[in-house]
Amino acid sequence: MEKTTYNYLIFHIEKLINVKSIIEIRHIRVLRKSKVNKEISIFNLLFLSNDFVGFKKSGIRENTLNYFIIRTANEFYVCGLENIFEDNGLITEKVVKFQKVNKFTSAILSSKYDRIVYP
Calpha distance 31→53 (Å, rounded): 6
- What is the number of structural domains in the chain? 1
Alpha helix positions (H), the chain = 3-13, 41-46, 103-109
Owning domain of residue 69: 3-118
Q: 40: which DSSP letter?
A: G
- 17-67 confidence digits (pLDDT tens): 777 788 887 777 665 553 444 444 444 444 433 333 333 333 444 555 677
- 57-110 confidence digits (pLDDT tens): 334 445 556 777 888 888 888 777 766 666 776 666 666 667 777 776 666 666
| pTM more than 0.75 | no
- CA 6 vs CA 25, 48, 67, 87, 90: distances in Å: 10, 24, 11, 23, 17
Calpha distance 67→98 (Å, rounded): 10
